[in-house]
Amino acid sequence: MFAVYAESISQDDPLTGLVLDERPDPEPREGWTAVTVRAASLNHHDLWSLRGVGLGEDALPMILGCDAAGVDEDGNEVVVHAVIKDPAWAGDETLDPKRSLLSERHQGTFADTVLVPSGNVVPKPASLAFEEAACLPTAWLTAYRMLFTQGGLKPGDSVLVQGAGGGVATALISLARAGGLRVYATSRDESKRERALELGAHQVAESGARLPEKVDAVMETVGRATWSHSIKSLRPGGSLVISGTTSGPNPDNAELTRVFFLQLRVVGSTMGTRAELESLVNLLDVSGVRPVIDQVLPMTEALDGFRAMAEGDVFGKIVFTR
Ligand SMILES: NC(=O)c1ccc[n+]([C@@H]2O[C@H](COP(=O)([O-])OP(=O)(O)OC[C@H]3O[C@@H](n4cnc5c(N)ncnc54)[C@H](OP(=O)(O)O)[C@@H]3O)[C@@H](O)[C@H]2O)c1
């Protein structure tokens, strides 16, 4: 089958290890189902994998991709849940120490077919196109859990989303607005700020600019570049929810004094559960909210999508179709 896979790892030049070519079809496996991929979406995770983060040399060659929507062995249209738990684990799979994401231990979704545990598919409503559904399992699920589970936000609360252009950030803005929150967003880029307003942000600001009010929660995926501003933007007792560090993990100033003096909470968040993915899919079905898609490319042109993400030249999700 056709696949987009990592053949080697390079910290400095990750795209050199990316190959588009034939790979063997997955072997049938008891309790797993083969999903024919109709659409898959790119995440920063795929670039991290090519840099060797979460992907060892011993696991190569590895088909990349966490996210997909397609058709399962019984002909059902499904969204794939990317978190693979240990079969012995019960409860919230994001807390399973042995969990992995598709493309880390098990072959990923950038292929004609992906094999997943039968419990790792969620019905796709007819109202969602395959391209839209393929955006949900990583970036949108992460945003959903950040806001409503780890952030505990309720209608009427206020939230700041840092780095408005990213896949998670655009999901955060759309879902926060749909959830009845007052939404602030920052971006370094004027045109991305404009688009954040169109998406539903009530107010936008340049990265680092003072907001008109202190917020109940900040959603962080940028890391080093925005950390200090995130902490300074919180009201006393507010929460910073972090799921990523695109600009690096070591802030110049961790603002520890503010953290204890203002009794702030710093909460990590990673992916989400199958149940949360199902709730997210239902939310989109009934609300009409849809993922922002930067570009849709045939999977055979995936290299262009990887390049755009590596250059940061993206607003919303990059989707590959078969
Ligand atoms: N924990 C999880 O489960 C999970 C799930 C999904 C993603 N993630 C992580 O979350 C992060 C976001 O991923 P993504 O795929 O949404 O998109 P991304 O491409 O990593 O995010 C791009 C955004 O980051 C902002 N940014 C990058 N460098 C910056 C800098 N130096 N200063 C200020 N802003 C900067 C930019 O915002 P502006 O250009 O608008 O300023 C840009 O739009 C990644 O690190 C990813 O690994 C984690």
Per-residue pLDDT at 192:
94
Q: How far is CA 291 from CA 72, 189, 199, 285, in A?
A: 23, 20, 10, 12
Task: Write the burial class of residue 52 (CB in 10 Å: 0-12 exposed, 13-18 middle, 19+ buried).
Answer: middle
Per-residue pLDDT at 269:
98
Specify the DSSP element, H or E, that contains 190.
Answer: helix 190-199
Per-residue pLDDT at 153:
98
Determine the Cα–Cα distance for residues 320 and 296; give it in Å rounded to an integer.
Answer: 6
Asked if residue 61 has a cis previous peptide bond (ω within 30° of 0), the answer is yes
Distance 27 CA to ligand 1 centre (A): 35
Instruction: State which residues of the chain have pLDDT below 50.
Output: none
Per-residue pLDDT at 102:
98
Can you state the percent helix, strand and coil of the chain, rounding each to 5?
Answer: 30, 30, 40
Per-residue pLDDT at 314:
85
Determine the Cα–Cα distance for residues 160 and 110; give it in Å rounded to an integer.
Answer: 33
For ligand 1, atom 32, name the residue with the nearest CA: 225
Per-residue pLDDT at 304:
97
188-195: Cβ within 8 A, 24+ apart: 189/165, 192/164, 192/165, 192/315, 193/164, 195/164, 195/165, 195/292, 195/315
Longest CA pairwise span in the chain (Å)? 57
Distance 28 CA to ligand 1 centre (A): 36
Residues in contact with ligand 1 (CB, 6 Å cut-off): 43-45, 48, 138-139, 142, 163-169, 187-189, 192, 207, 221-222, 225-226, 243-247, 270-271, 309, 312
Question: What is the position in ligand 1's atom list of the atom closest to the CA of 225?
Answer: 32
Residue 104's nearest CA partner among 40, 50, 37, 29 is: 50
Q: Among 135, 222, 230, 313, which residue has the most ligand 1 atoms within 8 Å of its CB, making it the best to mutate? A: 222
Per-residue pLDDT at 170:
94
DSSP state for residue 200 in the 8-state scheme: T
Q: How many CA atoms lie within 13 A of 10 on its CB side?
A: 9
For ligand 1, atom 8, name the residue with the nearest CA: 244
Distance 223 CA to ligand 1 centre (A): 8
Residue 89: count of CB within 10 angstroms of its CB = 13
Per-residue pLDDT at 70:
98
Handedness of CA 135, 169, 83, 90 (dihedral sign): negative
